[in-house]
Chain A
Amino acid sequence: MNPLRLLYLRWSVVLVAVMGLAALTAQHYRDHLAGFVPQEVTREAPAGDIRVAGMVQRGTVTGNARAGHAAFQLMGREASLPVVYEGPPQDNLRAFKTLVVIGAWDASAGVFRAREIGIVPNYGFVAGAYLVGLLPLALLVFAMSRRVNLLYEDMKTSALYQED
């Protein structure tokens, strides 16, 4: 097979594998991306399990998060949300910490009942780092490999080669 065609074939296989991996990753994290901010929860009162992102308001944390039960206010830009947490022991619950709380809105009590607390995932930074780290390398390797193949072809076919 022509070396240049072989090169394109190999890179197509790599590209398909990378796209497959990207699709798997997007599928895996899709649920984590859907979320609410505090003012949306109080305004829309969504049913079922949801994720709410916000900052823990200073001076509102009561109970013992390390023992797995606490209450606090989660601040958004326009409103704050009263949260009651019952779940695994937590070290991350402190004032000004940006968190994601997972649970359901209890409209009758007017509180968000959280059973899980996580750190804001910042997927934009992760995706950005992988793109910045891998894309230039891939482009550089492809361009160099292609150039080498073209130069070999040039050497074989050009009059310069015949002269020697």
Chain B
Amino acid sequence: MTIHRVIRGVQRYQGWVGGGAALCLLAGLYLGLLGSPPDYVQGEVVRIMYIHVPLAHTALLGYTVLAGGSVWYLWKRDPVVDNMCHAVAAISACFTALATATGMIWGKPTWDAWWTWDARLTSFAVLLLILLGYLMLRTMIDDPDKEARYAAVLAILGFVDLPIVHFSVEWWRTLHQPQSISLRGVSIASGMLAPLVLMSLGMSLLFSYMLMIRTQLLYLHRLLDAKKGRLLSRFHAPNADS
């Protein structure tokens, strides 16, 4: 896989992905804020679900992509995949932080607490710390080969947290409500399901769009750095004056 082919593909499809994300999110927002009913117990506050749950789903999806990409990198040592993993980590960290923040805002009117050391909340906070650690690690090592290898190992080790996040509401007695959509069925009203699905789809598309943009950004930065390096080496070469 060459980076040029990847960039050409990204440039061809990024407009469609971005447009799809915008349409899904706008339709989801319309249905979530205006078209769906208030909850019988929570009232209007339940509308926070349409932003919090899609953000959290996308954060978990992002980490899954990061872990998969890291395994792929360690196997094939493909720098394009490493570039993508680096891009995914930053975006996933952003989604994880925003999911945590919106969850805290939802927690205040429903549990009367911004934060509690609940199993779901704690494991999700650990996920954010792993992602921040991953990003810090990538800035601390000078050798690009080592940087990519160590980061991939950290991402794979951190994947242990994902099943804990997912099953925490079943393994432990938690304040956080159990899953409404699972293999066992859907326990949510159809009027609430439509905006939730649209927002989740929109967030996943937005994540893909951001990944496309960030991949190009990292690639362009590296390309510019390489070109600057070549230019400087030309100026400073021993036979530069000849």
Chain A residues in the interface with B (C-beta under 8 A)? 10, 14, 17-18, 21, 24-25, 28, 91-92, 118-123, 125-126, 128-130, 132-134, 136-137, 140-141, 144-145, 147-148, 151-152, 154-155, 160-161, 163-164
Contacts and interface: CB of A to CB of B under 8 A. Distances in A.
A136 B210 CA distance: 13
Contacts of B223: 155
A72 B124 CA distance: 43
B16 to A, nearest CB: 13
State the 10 A-B residue pairs at the shortest beta-carbon distance, nearest first.
A119-B43, A121-B44, A133-B51, A151-B220, A129-B48, A129-B105, A160-B227, A129-B102, A144-B213, A122-B109
A125 B45 contact: yes
Nearest to A27: B34
Q: Is the interface of A mostly helix, strand, loop or mixed?
A: helix
Contacts of A17: 22, 26
A140 B43 contact: no
Q: How large is the interface on B (under 10, 10 to 19, 20 to 34, 35 or more residues)?
A: 35 or more
Q: Is the interface of B mostly helix, strand, loop or mixed?
A: helix
Contacts of A133: 51-52, 55, 98, 101-102
A145 B44 CA distance: 35
B41 to A, nearest CB: 8
A123 B48 contact: no
B213 A164 contact: no
B98 A132 contact: yes
Contacts of A25: 33-34
Interface string B70-103: 0000000000000000000000001000100110
Given A17-B26, A132-B105, A126 B47 contact: yes
B203 to A, nearest CB: 9
B47 A148 contact: no
Given A125-B108, A155-B223, A160-B227, A24 B44 contact: no
Contact of A163 (B38, B214, B230): B230
Contacts of A161: 227
